[in-house]
Amino acid sequence: MPSAYLGARLSISQAYEFALSHVGLDLLAGPIWKEYLAFVREGETRSQWEEQTKVADYRALAGRAVRVPFEGVEDVWREYDQFEGQVNRVTVRPSRPARACSASVDPDRKLTCLSLLPSLPRAPRRPRSSWPNAHRLT
């Protein structure tokens, strides 16, 4: 593969990791986790080694994702389970985390967090500067 393609994928992966390091534990971080998982899963490969690396990266990322109590974590688990069903079934069993892994997010804790979410105050948004006034110093 061209090095430009690999460089671009590396930069995008680093951007996702940066975002997850800042907001990955938030209850509403589900879309970021799902996008990153799709990005890793849909990566192009041209050799067996690249395919195995992609599968290992996806497994590691999915393992991280299912441990976070965000909205939609069950969907991530189902997608991960389907993904594992598509790869070689011989290698699936030893590397597949136990179902308890997805249950490591305590359902009671998750429900409590989700029930508290609407009552939490939202951080005020900073006003956006309009383009013509953006050059002014205040």
What's the pLDDT score for residue 100? 44
What's the pLDDT score for residue 123? 66
What's the pLDDT score for residue 92? 53
Which are the contacts of 113, defined by CB distance < 8 A and separation ≥ 6? 27, 69
Domain presence at residue 118: no
Domain presence at residue 129: no
CATH number of 53's domain: 1.25.40.10
What's the pLDDT score for residue 35? 94
Domain presence at residue 121: no
Condensed to tens digits (0 to 9), the pLDDT of residues 89-136 reads 655 555 455 444 444 556 666 667 667 767 766 666 666 655 565 555
What's the pLDDT score for residue 12? 93
Domain presence at residue 113: no
Condensed to tens digits (0 to 9), the pLDDT of residues 12-54 reads 999 999 999 999 888 888 899 999 999 999 988 888 988 889 9
Higher pLDDT, 95 or 72: 72
What's the pLDDT score for residue 99? 47
Domain presence at residue 133: no
Distance from C-alpha of 138 to C-alpha of 134, rounded to nearest angstrom: 10
Mean pLDDT of the region 62-86: 86
What's the pLDDT score for residue 102? 44
Host domain of residue 85: 3-108
What's the pLDDT score for residue 125? 66
Q: How many domains does the chain have?
A: 1
Domain presence at residue 137: no
What's the pLDDT score for residue 101? 46
Domain presence at residue 89: yes
Domain presence at residue 122: no
